[in-house]
């Protein structure tokens, strides 16, 4: 059952990341998930649930890709986090944050807003812990969010700027 949920969630994530939240039809989502319509609705009974399942999948993949196996040295971990966010943007999406896009597509969804807030809070908390900058969760999140939003315009230069800002933050908190 968990394998089927993972398969469906991964397919839905790919479909929404590639085509946005409004464009894919239910048939497109079924095809992306690689299951029958009956199975799709068994695991995710509504389009809103499909979006949430896709974002939960993305949340776990993002956290793993950005934070697993970071260097033990906090200064090195800081640079590595920003490099990995840049790599994520280059390979996973060049359009900005899928979580923000989901909330923009359905601004009245309390469930989406809660998921966005949980995702960003966990990113900030894990970044602060990995970098040894426990008092700078908000600042690190602002740098990561800035990198994510600047990537479509600046590309790799955004990741390099984030690294410089990370160094400046470490010095200012010195």
Question: What does the alpha-carbon distance between residue 79 and residue 159 come to, in Å, rounded to a whole number?
Answer: 9
State the pLDDT at residue 99.
94
State the pLDDT at residue 106.
94
Question: What does the alpha-carbon distance between residue 3 and residue 105 come to, in Å, rounded to a whole number?
Answer: 29
Question: What does the alpha-carbon distance between residue 28 and residue 15 come to, in Å, rounded to a whole number?
Answer: 8
> 96 and 116 in contact (C-beta within 8 Å)?
no
Rounded to 10°, the helix 137-154/156-173 angle is: 160
Question: What does the alpha-carbon distance between residue 117 and residue 87 come to, in Å, rounded to a whole number?
Answer: 23
CB atoms within 10 A of CB 22: 8
- Token representation of residue 136: 């700078």
Find, among 115, 122, 126, 120, the residue nearest to 149 by Cα.
120
Q: What are the φ and ψ backbone dihedral angles of 25, each rounded to 5 degrees?
A: -75, 170
Go through the domains of the chain in sequence order and give each one's CATH number. 2-173 (1.10.357.10)
> 133 and 80 in contact (C-beta within 8 Å)?
no
CB atoms within 10 A of CB 8: 25
pTM (predicted TM-score): 0.93
Question: What does the alpha-carbon distance between residue 56 and residue 9 come to, in Å, rounded to a whole number?
Answer: 8
How do the pLDDT tens digits run along the chain, 174 residues long?
Answer: 789 999 999 999 999 999 999 999 999 999 999 999 999 999 999 999 999 999 999 999 999 999 999 999 999 999 999 999 999 999 987 678 899 999 999 999 999 999 999 999 999 999 999 999 999 999 999 999 999 999 999 999 999 999 999 999 999 997
CA distances (Å), 38 to each of 47, 79, 94, 110, 131, in order?
14, 46, 33, 27, 46
State the pLDDT at residue 94.
62
């Amino acid at each position: 059952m968990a394998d089927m949920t993972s398969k469906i969630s991964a397919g839905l994530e790919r479909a929404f990341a590639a085509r946005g939240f409004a464009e894919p039809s239910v048939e497109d989502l079924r095809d992306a998930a690689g299951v029958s319509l009956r199975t799709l609705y068994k695991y995710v009974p509504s389009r809103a649930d499909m979006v949430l399942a896709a974002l939960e999948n993305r949340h776990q993949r993002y956290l793993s890709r950005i934070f697993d196996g970071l260097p033990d040295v906090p200064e090195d971990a800081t640079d590595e986090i920003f490099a990995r966010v840049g790599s994520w943007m280059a390979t996973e999406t060049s359009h900005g944050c899928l979580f923000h896009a989901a909330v923009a597509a359905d601004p009245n969804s309390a469930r989406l807003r809660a998921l966005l807030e949980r995702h960003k809070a966990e990113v900030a908390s894990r970044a602060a812990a990995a970098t040894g900058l426990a008092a700078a969760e908000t600042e690190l999140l602002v740098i990561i969010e800035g990198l994510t939003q600047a990537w479509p315009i600046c590309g790799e230069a955004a990741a390099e700027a984030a690294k410089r800002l990370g160094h400046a933050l470490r010095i200012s908190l010195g």
